[in-house]
Structures are given as C-alpha cells and as structure tokens.
Amino acid sequence: MQSGIVESGYGSDPVGLVSGFLFEPGQPLREIDSTGAAAWLHQHGNAAPTTARHDQPFLWLHFNLSHSACERWMKGQLGLPEDFFEALRQGSHSTRIERQDDALLAVVNDVIYNFGVVSTDISTLWAHADHRLLVTARARPLRSVDRLRAAVRRGEPFRSPLDLVVHLLRDQADVLVQIVRETGINVDQIEDQLLSQRLHSNRADLGAMRRGLVRLQRLLAPEPGALFRLLNRPPAWLLEGDLRELRESTEEFSLVLNDLAALVERIKLLQEEIAAKLNEQTNRTLFTLTLVTVLALPINIVAGFFGMNVGGIPLADHPHGFWVLVVLVASFTVLAGRWAFRKQAE
C-alpha cells in the first residue's frame, strides 16, 4: 500500500482527487492517492456493519468536479449511489443532510461574505458518507474544506465519516455567526444615525444587506424534515456520539438562523422607518410648493387681467387705482393662505 501514499503536489491526481486520507484506529494518519484508495476499497469490500463500531477504518476522498475524469472514476471505482450523481447534475445548493438507504447524502455551503460591498459568494460541497467512506466533491475551492484538511493533518481525532461532516457544518455555522455579528454592527450604526437625524446611508445599502441575508437564510437553513428522519432512524453504522454531535450542531445552527431571521426583520423595520421619514419630507416639500403656488395665484390672475393691452381696463384712470389693486391682491392672498393652511391641518 506504500505506493498509494501521496507525495505529489496539490490536486495533481490524474482523476481529480484533491486529497485523500485513510483513518485507521491505532495507526497514524495516511494520505492516499486514487490508486491506493481503489485498492483499499476493493480489499475491504462494501458490506455494511449491522452495529456501530468504534474501530472501523474509513477513507476521506475529496474531488475536484472540474476535472474531466472525476465523475467517471467515482462511478467506476467507488460504487456510489445514483442519487449522489443526480444531486451533482441538478446542482442543488440548499444545505441538507439526509439518509439514503445505509448511506448519507449531504450538501454543505461555504460562504465568502464581503462586508465592504455587501455581497455573498457561495461555493457548494456535495458529500456521500457511509461506514467506510466519505466522498466530498466541489467545483470551486472551499475554505471550510481547507480548514478541515488542516485539522486532520494536525492530528485532531475523527471517529467516523459523519464526524468529518459535522465539522463542516460547524464551520458553516461559525461563518454565519460572523456574518450576523458584522451585519448587526452595520445595522446598529444606521439605526443610531436615524435616531440622531444624521442618516446619510443610502436605502440601497440596507436593501443589499437584506437580500444577501435572505439568500443565506434560504441556502444555509438545513431541511428540517430530512434531518428529523435521519436523527430518528439513523443507519446502523452511526455511532451514538456522532448522532449526539449532529443533534447539537443542528441545534446551534438553528439558533444562528433564528438570529439571522431577527436581523432580517430589523432591517425590514429600519427600511420602513426610513421610507416613512422620506415620505414625510416629500409631503412637507410638496406642501411648501403648493402653498407658494396658491399664494402666487391671486397675483398672477390680477396681473394677467390688468396687463392685457386693450381698452376699458378698470381703474386705469383712477388716481388711487394702484393701491386698490394692492389691497385686492393682498386680500385674495390672505384668503388663499388661510384656505391652504386649513387644508393642511385637515
């Protein structure tokens, strides 16, 4: 089996295997290539154990789906169910972990959140786990997988393939906690500016925040029905400790998603408050323009009548005609102003 130990660089395996690890109880961790992995799987068969065992060796193989030979090799050498490849073809991105016969299918997302431009970049990882094998596949590199690989190489203990998946889920929850915390700080600043009447932020920023968080909420919330069925009817090979950690990680995830939903609601209320203030300012401006128009109306009417170049204009020869017109225009202006203010009060 020594020929299966990886000595070459990152992602150089001819079938798109980015990294492979062999976990054997009581033995040091071994990195393994595609040839060694195929030989090990052939040697250990595919019969599922009837009870959970703590001394069960297993593989973790991580693939790059961009490699042309990747999917063909997985179909020919790993004996994965068709449901896994169907999930790859469909491009399903919603986080979930569900039971399929005696195996597990998981979809985990890795989030890159840019707080400067309020955007999200999400990469998806598809995973198949059974008693002897964890297969993960991605189209783009994921930081969560890099962190998991670093933890494995540091010598952190992992009991089973599901233990590795739980580590990925917890990484995803940690990233989401950071996103909620940073976005919450930005929302607090905008809220303080609104309360102090110093709001300079564009409503588009809040809208972008809300859209990004709703997208995260939709993609990262695990499907509760599939998870509930898995926890109540787990495969026989799952350890009790793995189920307990999976239950705890999903509970932590649910708390984070509740915080995310509350933050989305805060942003919505803040948008409504800003819209109400802008509407109030608009109404005030319109009233001012209406008042100016109403007050200028008598002057315009009188000036229009007496400015016509025709004969017989009243008061044209009256010695006090100008002052009569001034009193007339002032009276109409006062009446128009009182009417406008009365309408505004109503």
CATH number for the domain spanning 320: value is 1.20.58
Per-residue pLDDT band at 18 (split at 50, 70, 90): very high
Q: Are residues 271 and 284 in the same domain?
A: no
Q: Are residues 98 and 236 in the same domain?
A: yes
Tell me which of 237, 259, 276 is where a domain ends.
Answer: 276
DSSP, collapsed to helix, strand or coil, labels residue 315 as coil
DSSP, collapsed to helix, strand or coil, labels residue 47 as coil
Q: Are residues 48 and 109 in the same domain?
A: yes
Q: Are residues 27 and 104 in the same domain?
A: yes
Q: Are residues 166 and 193 in the same domain?
A: yes
Q: How many domains does the chain have?
A: 2
Which tokens belong to 330? 């002032």
The tally of CA atoms less than 13 A away on the side-chain side of residue 254 is 9
DSSP, collapsed to helix, strand or coil, labels residue 5 as strand
131 secondary structure, DSSP code = S
Read off the pLDDT of each residue in 334-341 and give the average, rounded to a whole number: 74
Q: Are residues 251 and 171 in the same domain?
A: yes
Which residue has better confidence, 345 or 70?
70
Q: Report the amino acid identity of residue 321.
A: G
Q: Are residues 272 and 288 in the same domain?
A: no
pLDDT at 115 over 50: no
Per-residue pLDDT band at 62 (split at 50, 70, 90): very high
Q: Are residues 224 and 289 in the same domain?
A: no
Whole-number Å distance between alpha carbons of 203 and 211: 12
Q: Are residues 309 and 270 in the same domain?
A: no
Q: Lowest-pLDDT range, 180-194, 235-249, 291-305?
A: 291-305
Structural domain containing residue 35:
2-276
Task: Look at the pTM and tell me if it is higher than 0.75.
Answer: no
Q: Are residues 45 and 109 in the same domain?
A: yes
Q: Are residues 15 and 83 in the same domain?
A: yes
Q: Are residues 314 and 174 in the same domain?
A: no
Q: Quote the mean pLDDT of the chain.
A: 79
The tally of CA atoms less than 13 A away on the side-chain side of residue 182 is 15
